[in-house]
Structures are given as C-alpha cells and as structure tokens.
Amino acid sequence: VRVELVTVGDELLLGDTINGNAAWLGRTLAGHGIEVTRSVVVADQQDEIIQAVQEALGRADAVITTGGLGPTYDDLTRDALAVAAGVPLTRDPELERRLRERAVAMDRPFVPMVLRMAEVPEGARQLPNPAGTAPGLRITLPGGPVYALPGIPSEMRALVEAEVLPLLLRDAPAGVPMARRILRTAGVWESVVAARLAPVEALDGVRLAYLPDSGEIRVRITATGPDASIVLAAAEEQARELLGHAVYGSGDETLDRVVHRLLAERNATVGTAESLTGGLIGAELTAMPGSSATYAGGVVAYATPLKTALLGVSAALLADGGAVQAQVAAEMAAGVRERLGATYGLAVTGVAGPEPQDGHPVGTVHIAVAGPDGRPQTVSPALPGTGSGERRRVQIRRLTVVHALDLLRRIILGLDVESSWRDDREDREASS
C-alpha cells in the first residue's frame, strides 16, 4: 500500500509547530510495511485541502489527513472532504449528545461552535476516537479512501493504532515483505562508513541509507523480498563486522544511553571536567531520566586558573604550555575522577573558536578518560567543523561532545584506543 499524508494547518507552514505527526506516521506505517510516498502540508483553506487530497489520491492508494477537525472556523478538513465527495454534512445526534455530556462532565459552558465536531459527511464512516470525543473519518473519494484524523498527537496516534492500521492492512494486497534496521555509528566519516559497507550495498535486495548528524552517522539497512528478515539479519551481521566498534548501538539507542548502560552494567559512574564545551557533556549525560545512578556530576573549568583550583591541574603545566594540551586534559580527567569519587573521569579542553588560542588552530581538541587503572588515556582529534564564526563554534562543541562520549564508551569496553579509535578515524586505505 502506498500512502500519502496531507497535514493541514497554517501553524505548520509558519513554522510555529514542527510536523511531528508526519514523522510519527511515517515511522509507524513503515513498521507495518506500509510506504509513505509523499507528505504535504497545506494551509487552513478549503480549496487547498481539496486540491492536495485529490492530487495525492491520483498517485497513492490511500490518503491520511491530520488536522482541521476541531471546532473553530479555521478547521476545514470536514467541509473540504464533503465538497470533494459531493455530499452534504449532516449532524450526528449521538455525537452531539456525547459532546454535550462532555461539556457537563468538564464543568465547561457548551459553546455552539463545538457542534461542528458532530457533523459528518454523508456516507463517511466514523472511526471511534479512543483518546478524545471527535471521531476520525473514513470517506471514499474517486481515487481511493481518505482517513481524516485530528491533529492532536495523542488522539491521532490512538486512532491510527486502533482504527486506521487494521483497515489499511486489510486493504493491502499481499505485497513484497520489507524489513528495516538502523545501526548507529560515532566518530567515523560518512565516506568511510559508505566505503566499508560497499559489499553490503552490493547484496541482492538490500538498500543502505546514511543519515549524518553532527559526528554521528546512522545507517539504515532495508531488505526487500520474500526472505526480507533473513536477508536483513545477514546484512546487519556483515555490516557490524565491517564497521566493528564504530557501531555503538541500533534503533533508538543514543550514545549517552549506551554509555549509561555500559556504566550501569559495571556498577560504575562517571564525572566530567569540561572546558570548551562549557557543560554540554554534563547536559547530555543528564538528559536521560534516572541518569543520576551513573552520572555523578562535573566541573566546568572555563577560566584557566579554575583548572588548578577546582581540578588540581599543575599550575606550572598551564603556565608553561597553556590550557590546550593533551596533558591538561589528562590531569583534568584524573582530578575530576578523584574529587567526585567517580569510577571514570572524562575531560575535554580545546579551541572552539572563532579565534585561535595560544597558537592552536580552531578545532584543536584534547579528550581524556581516567579510569580505575589510574593512567589517563588521551586522544587529540582535529575537529575543525565547517563554515566560520559562531556556526562553526556550535559545530565544534557538538562534535567534541560526541567524540568524548565515544572515547569513554571505547575505554569502558576495554578497547585499545590506538587500534580502535584511530583506525576508525584515520582509515584511508579502506575509504579511497
């Protein structure tokens, strides 16, 4: 089944709201083998809605609309579908009764405008709403069925799961099975990932897509054919082998969550000492609910003298070579580990720009992890970012967070930094 989405609402075109409904629908339908082939956002105007729905039905097997089913006069999806079907709207007495009861139950005045939600295009099927009062609608237009759903995410989702998916799957021709999986990598260049995965890309019935996002590359593997899930499993295994420890997780598991999981499995904690990132690493490590079990806390030693006062970095070292040195990162990591009583200390220092510092170019970054063995390990990636000025500064700080968490992950796993980190980042042979 090929489905197109029509999202209705001025607030989406004006960018006051992000189209999270379309993303959720895409993900959910794809999970059931239903392909969303196009997604359109239109204004709260009756002719725009009619035109978009008719065009979509010219291409796809079914259309799902969200939004425009509320009670106000800019809620026009119901009217648009009635016009497109050439039928009148009729008021449903049972719906009216429920709307009046609800106003009483919520101790709210009954506003006549609300009765718009009791109107149904003649011949349309009502889809009971498990999370609200106004039902969804299924109406057949020339070209195929249209499912009209409310724009409120909780109601939209409940209706899709309870009503729309079963109907779409019932109508689906027994199609070609499809299976999907996302692998998540950190610290490897997109071109290196793509070059390493060339043999997987060449497999029959397998497609790869690369989704880059500030230092991370997600790889989506799609297998199609009668044996889709077997083919997918084989492709995933081969991809993991080719990518090695660059793969940190799959699906929705983010890098911070992987770090928390690895720490929890070892009954360990981490403390952070930050300079150029100013607190971003701590913020990332406290994003997850329950993170206090494995994240102790941190120090932002932004002014150079604080690196000595708060973390015990040697004043002579700082006077000698400045704040941007691998050895400074190492002493910060050891210092924060000891002062916070954490199992691991993670530290970063470097130059976010836009100006060079102590002769070090923008993007010079030193990352250190001190572990139970007491000997901090450091890496010094060049993370110059692209562009200039403040945009580049944002990028460099974000890249530093990802590389820092990735170094911590590799060290918790007991990997040798030389052979794992550097191979993934400097793999020229494999990629050219």
- Within positions 259 to 318, which residues make up the interface with a second copy, using CB under 8 A? 269, 272, 274, 276-283, 285-289, 291-292, 295-303, 306, 309-310
Site for a second copy in 405-424 (CB under 8 A): none
What is the rounded radius of gyration, in angstroms, for the C-alpha atoms of the chain?
Answer: 28
Task: Answer yes or no whether residue 400 interacts with a second copy by CB under 8 A.
Answer: no
How many amino acids of this chain bind a second copy (CB under 8 A)?
123
Choose which of 1, 57, 69, 152 interacts with a second copy (CB under 8 A): 152
379 vs 60: CA distance, rounded Å: 52
Which lies closer to a second copy via its Cβ, residue 211 or residue 264? Answer: 211
CB of 87 to a second copy, least distance (A): 26
Q: What character string, x for contact with a second copy (CB under 8 A) and - otherwise, covers 41-80?
A: xxxx---x---x--x---------------xx-x------
66 vs 302: CA distance, rounded Å: 48
174 vs 338: CA distance, rounded Å: 62
Choose which of 192, 197, 228, 232 interacts with a second copy (CB under 8 A): 192
Rounded (5°) CA angle 402-392-333: 40
Give counts: helices (H), strands (E), the chain: 18, 17
Query: Strands 89-91 and 119-121: what pairing?
Result: antiparallel
Which lies closer to a second copy via its Cβ, residue 121 or residue 155? Answer: 155
CB of 125 to a second copy, least distance (A): 20
Which lies closer to a second copy via its Cβ, residue 29 or residue 84? Answer: 29
Site for a second copy in 326-345 (CB under 8 A): 339-340
CB of 266 to a second copy, least distance (A): 17
Q: What character string, x for contact with a second copy (CB under 8 A) and - otherwise, covers 209-248?
A: xxxx-----x-x----------------------------
What is the phi/psi pair of residue 373, to 5°? -75, -5
Tokens of 133: 């009062």
Task: Answer yes or no whether residue 391 interacts with a second copy by CB under 8 A.
Answer: yes
> Do 291 and 222 touch, CB atoms closer than 8 A?
no
For 164-174, b where at least 16 C-beta lie within 10 A, e where not — what string?
A: bbeebeeeeee
* Residue 347, helix vs strand vs coil: strand
Which residues, at least 6 apart from 103, have a Cβ–Cβ distance to it below 8 Å?
109, 110, 114
Task: Answer yes or no whether residue 20 interacts with a second copy by CB under 8 A.
Answer: yes
Closest listed residue to residue 339, CA positions, set 378, 313, 365: 313
Task: Answer yes or no whether residue 19 interacts with a second copy by CB under 8 A.
Answer: yes
CB of 83 to a second copy, least distance (A): 19
34 vs 419: CA distance, rounded Å: 43
Choose which of 267, 359, 386, 414 interacts with a second copy (CB under 8 A): 386
> Do 138 and 170 touch, CB atoms closer than 8 A?
no
Tokens of 408: 């911590």
CB of 123 to a second copy, least distance (A): 27
Task: Answer yes or no whether residue 114 interacts with a second copy by CB under 8 A.
Answer: yes
> Do 185 and 404 touch, CB atoms closer than 8 A?
no
Stretch binding a second copy (CB under 8 A), from 80-88, 137-145, 352-360, 412-420: 352-360
Which lies closer to a second copy via its Cβ, residue 66 or residue 395? Answer: 395
Site for a second copy in 86-105 (CB under 8 A): 102, 105
